[in-house]
Amino acid sequence: MVLSRIILGLLAIAPMTGYDLKRHFDSTVGHFWSADRAQIYRTLARLVADGHAEVEKVPGERAPDRQEHRITAAGRAALAEWLAGEPERHVERDPFLARVFFGDGLDDDGLRSLLARRREEVRARLERFEGMRSEAAAPDRAARLRLATLDNGLAHLRTELAWLDEVEEEFA
């Protein structure tokens, strides 16, 4: 459900192919949702079957044909309905914290290496997000809301680094 509504939301910005959508999941919306190709193509097919999107075959000039998906009026209605409806509750599932929770089964070296990896991942992600942040413009409400979600990601990454500082000091 959420995935299909995110795709509708992106199609509402501009018509796109599955491939284009994949790029969005790897960049603009990657800080709060991810999806791989199999999911995207499956969901696009369902959106078309449900009348929420239409496909137009655009012949590729120097590449394969593009299956451009365009949101329909029914699709816009479904998107608006979802937005105004009951929010889904978010369940946390973080394998890294699971490892720390049972981390007594690791020796000091193992634990240090686990924390170091996490730090590196978070650092790289933070760097990427900061790059996105500096490129972003936010003139209107829509863009400012999108930017706010990026700031949410940035804030949590900085919190994670601060937490890692503390934990590494305690268990170093």
Partner DNA sequence: TCACTCATGTAAGATGTTACATGATTCG
Partner DNA sequence: CGAATCATGTAACATCTTACATGAGTGA
Question: Helix 2-13 and helix 37-49: axis angle, to 10°?
Answer: 80
Residues 74-93 that bind DNA (CB under 7 A): 91, 93
Q: Which does 60 bind (CB under 5 to 8 A by kind): a second copy, DNA, none?
A: DNA
Q: How far apart are CA 48 and CA 10, in angstroms?
A: 15
Interface with DNA, residue 23, by CB under 7 A: yes
Binding residue for a second copy (CB under 8 A) from 58, 74, 124, 148? 148
C-alpha span between 33 and 53 (Å, rounded): 21
- Judged by beta carbon, residue 58 or residue 80, the one nearer a second copy is 80
- Neighbouring CB atoms inside 10 A of 93's CB total 7
Of 38, 49, 91, 172, the one binding a second copy by CB under 8 A: 91
Q: What is the nearest approach in angstroms of a second copy to the Cβ of residue 145?
A: 4
Indicate the residue among 38 and 84 with the shorter CB distance to DNA: 38
Contacts of 103 (CB under 8 A, 6+ apart): 111, 114
Would you say 65 or 81 has its CB closer to a second copy?
81
Q: Which does 18 bind (CB under 5 to 8 A by kind): DNA, a second copy, none?
A: DNA
Angstrom CA distances, 13 to 6, 58, 73, 84, 93, stand at: 11, 19, 14, 18, 30
